[in-house]
Structure 1
């Protein structure tokens, strides 16, 4: 028996149902016919877009075979399999664009090690008149050295910009920000709690299991990290419009 994991999560990030519904409504307003999801995971948001845009087809790109399998199953269950592809490959230099709508939520690193280069890739991948939904981390305030030491390994101030700098980088890459919104503390807490909840219950019910010690160490480490960046690290959802080439 292995600990269950992520069964309580709908989205792999701090995204509420209400915000997801609003995003889908906004992103389908211009009637996209092609959707590209970078680092799609299970492709939940892409599938919701396709359900709301019956003329659209979607391609999700990711390296996680298990997530892609779950995405294919979900597409089949919702009657969307004929309009959806889940591709197991790197997004670096992908040839799957340009698309009318590009989703890149928490996965810009799949397009480049540095954010400016990733944004240039997104500009290449979106069709003129289309939209990009970029979900990207930003510092709500500058973390202290002590806080950084308790976050992820080798965490640094340079890992993320502040929100103003993030939007400036998007503009420099050839976009205008149609809509700017940020994940709320409630969304963060729902996501992080949901990420750990199944495993926490398993640990309570199986304290003597051979895997309990290493699982407990992993879960405690993760919780300590997110309680450190709680209120410090934000996630912006930017709806970006590509500037037309003259």
Structure 2
């Protein structure tokens, strides 16, 4: 019996995304492409690709490719695709997205993974990612970008509670983010962002299975390391970026 700490088993999507918002975003994309028309989907930094799988299910004849460097997440995606009868239409590939030579797709997804498209450091990585996404989407297609932004300028004590090296210049605000997308050759067809309930649900689900494991295995050889990790992450969230960092969902149309 495996008694090691579980990993992200309570998460449906690897980000602050509700069932309702996901369904709405999928409706918006399928209305554009046409629910009965074959389409290609490319998911950058896909993780286990739950959103991509649902999008493929909603578009008969569509095919999808998800790329990521985490083999555990990719394996989970492959199992889910097989279970839902999508294994022949979806491929999960372990590879870096930096300078990817993948062909352009009708729909390109990039949820919280702009850093995967470039070796450029923040905040310039957002601009680099947007230009990469512009090359990866077909004319008439759509990019659905999930990208972090500051909801308000972070205070010094909040920054100090976040990840090492966190800086107020690391992200843009929402208006600046949209301007960068326009400068990269897009028009923003739809702009929305994760709400507080979505964030709280995501952060709780992110650690819930491990917290319960720690309660049952306080003396496990991996307990101290695991406890330190989850305590550190919870403090980053509750004392640092909760209510400060947002995640925008931008549906972007490439300009001819």
TM-score normalised by L of structure 1: 0.97
Instruction: State yes or no: 1:48 paired with 2:59.
Output: no
SS in 2 for 1:29: helix
Give the structure 1 partner of residue 143 of structure 2: 132
Tell whether 2:182 aligns with 1:171. Answer: yes
Q: Which residue of 2 aligns with 1:71?
A: 77
Matched ranges for 1:164-243 at <5 A: 164-227=175-238, 228-243=240-255
For residue 109 of structure 1, the aligned residue among 115, 123, 126 is 115
- Mark the runs of 5 or more structure 2 residues left unpaired by the alignment: none
Q: Corresponding residue for 1:30?
A: 32
> Superposition RMSD on alpha carbons, in Å?
0.9
Q: Deviation above 6 Å: which 4+ runs of structure 1?
A: none
Partner secondary structure for residue 81 of structure 1: coil
Extract unaligned runs of 5+ from structure 1: none
Tell me which residue corresponds to 1:157.
168
Residue 147 of structure 1 aligns to a residue in which SS?
A: helix
In the TM superposition, what whole-angstrom CA distance separates every residue of 1:172-203 from its partner, at most 9, and x where no partner exists? 00000000000010000000000110111111
2:153 maps to 1:142: yes
Inter-partner Cα distance in structure 2 for 1:211 and 1:66? 19
CA distance in 2, matches of 1:93, 1:4: 33
Give the Cα separation in 1 of the matches to 2:147 and 2:245.
Answer: 10
Aligned match of 1:4? 6
